[in-house]
Amino acid sequence: MAAKYSNPARSAFTLVDLMVALCVVSIVMAAVATLAFAMGTANDASDDTSAKQAQLRCATLRIGELVRNSRLIISLADNNLAVWKGDYNSDGQINLGEIAYIGSAADKTYIRVYEFTSDDRTLHPYQIGSVSGSWWSTYASSYYYTYLIPKCSNVSIVTDIAPPWSKAATISFNLVENGFTRTYQITASLRATATHMLDATGYYLFASDDELHPTGGYPIFGNPAAF
Tens digits of residue pLDDT in 67-94: 999 999 999 988 999 999 998 888 888 8
Instruction: Please list the residues that pair with 153 across neighbouring strands.
Output: 174
> What's the full length of the chain, in residues?
227
**pLDDT tens digits for range 200-224:** 777 777 765 445 443 334 444 444 3
Stated as kind and residue range, the H or E segment containing 98 is none
Q: pLDDT at position 85, please?
A: 94
Q: What is the pTM for the complete model shown?
A: 0.71
Q: Where are the domains of the chain?
A: 44-192
**CA-CA distance, 135 to 24, in Å (whole number)?**
72
Q: What are the start-end ranges of the H helices in the chain?
A: 8-11, 15-69
Through-space distance between the first and last CA atoms of the chain, rounded to whole angstroms: 126
Q: pLDDT at position 205, please?
A: 77
Backbone torsion region of residue 28, taken as left when φ is above 0, otherwise alpha when ψ lies between -120 and 50, otherwise beta = alpha
Q: How many Cβ atoms sit within 10 Å of the Cβ of residue 193?
A: 18
Backbone torsion region of residue 86, taken as left when φ is above 0, otherwise alpha when ψ lies between -120 and 50, otherwise beta = left
**pLDDT tens digits for range 131-168:** 777 787 777 667 889 999 999 999 999 999 999 999 99
Alpha-carbon radius of gyration of the chain? 32
Q: Identify the residue with better confidence: 212 or 31.
A: 31
Average pLDDT of the chain is 79
Q: How many Cβ atoms sit within 10 Å of the Cβ of residue 132?
A: 13
Q: pLDDT at position 84, please?
A: 94
- 14: pLDDT confidence band, cut at 50, 70 and 90? confident
pLDDT at 26 over 90: no
Q: How many Cβ atoms sit within 10 Å of the Cβ of residue 202?
A: 17
Q: pLDDT at position 138, please?
A: 76
pLDDT at 169 over 90: yes
3-class SS string, 111-171: EEEEEECCCCCEECHHHCCCHHHCHHHHCCCCEEEEEEECCCEEEEEEECCCCCCCCEEEE
pLDDT at 226 over 80: no
**CA-CA distance, 140 to 132, in Å (whole number)?**
18
Q: pLDDT at position 222, please?
A: 42
**CA-CA distance, 197 to 193, in Å (whole number)?**
9
Q: In the chain, how long is the greatest CA-to-CA distance?
A: 139
